């Protein structure tokens, strides 16, 4: 049974999130296109279909892709730097400097979670506790807050599911059993 307080915890956490991660379709670079084509047929026969013209490839596509650090969510990285005592993250010597917008967004998320104070320093004890848990800071804060609301068991289950790609394991010849398990799970949760 789910605690009635669980809903208020999730509502409160979602209200404080200023950045929602989503998958955005974006153009790839020439280097990435070549790498993807090289993967086709590496292990078994395969083909790579490109949904753009050769002219677009030659004239429009960037030669190299944007470094990962400039595309990533920096919330976890920023809190770890803060925990290491590096307070001036804007002046930090990054291998490839992230955009100022990404840095500000990371600071805003951490501030809204209550793990940074007005001076952008880790709060005590919440900020240091969140930094110690090896999970996304939003999940860590959710786990820590759940004890005050009396729904730790439910939140730990949710955190575990959010920390993996899929709870369903696909084995050879086990599709029927997998479908039956999904139906039993849905029936148990719905009733």
Write down the pLDDT at residue 157.
93
Alpha helices in the chain (DSSP H): 4-16, 30-39, 54-59, 68-71, 75-83, 100-112, 126-132, 137-149, 152-162, 175-190
Among 7-11, 94-98, 143-147, 176-180, whose mean pLDDT is lowest?
7-11
Report the predicted TM-score, pTM, of the whole model to 2 decimal places.
0.58
- Look at the alpha carbons of 58, 63, 68, 74 in this order and tell me if their dihedral is positive or negative: negative
Write down the pLDDT at residue 15.
39
Computed over every residue of the chain, the mean pLDDT equals 80
pLDDT tens-digit map of 50-77: 888 889 888 988 888 777 666 678 899 9
In the chain, the domains with their CATH numbers are 4-15+69-190 (1.20.120.1080), 29-64 (no CATH)
pLDDT tens-digit map of 157-185: 999 988 888 776 666 777 777 778 778 87
107-143 burial, b at 16+ Cβ within 10 Å, e below that, comes to: bebbbbbebbeeeeebbeebbebbbeeeebbbbbbbb
């Amino acid at each position: 049974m789910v605690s009635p307080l669980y809903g208020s915890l999730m509502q409160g956490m979602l209200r404080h999130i200023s950045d929602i991660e989503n998958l955005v379709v974006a153009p790839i670079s020439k280097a990435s296109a070549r790498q993807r084509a090289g993967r086709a047929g590496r292990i078994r026969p395969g083909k790579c279909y490109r949904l753009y013209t050769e002219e677009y490839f030659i004239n429009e596509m960037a030669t190299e892709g944007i470094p990962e650090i400039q595309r990533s969510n920096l919330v976890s990285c920023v809190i770890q730097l803060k925990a290491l005592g590096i307070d001036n993250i804007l002046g930090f010597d990054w291998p490839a400097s992230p955009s100022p917008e990404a840095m500000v967004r990371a600071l805003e998320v951490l501030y809204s979670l209550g793990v940074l104070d007005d001076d952008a320093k880790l709060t005590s004890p919440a900020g240091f506790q969140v930094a110690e848990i090896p999970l996304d800071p939003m999940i860590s804060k959710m786990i820590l807050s759940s004890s005050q609301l009396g729904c730790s068991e439910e939140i730990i289950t949710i955190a575990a599911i959010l920390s993996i790609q899929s709870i369903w394991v696909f084995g050879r010849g086990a599709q029927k059993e997998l479908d039956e398990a999904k139906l039993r799970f849905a029936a148990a949760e719905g009733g």
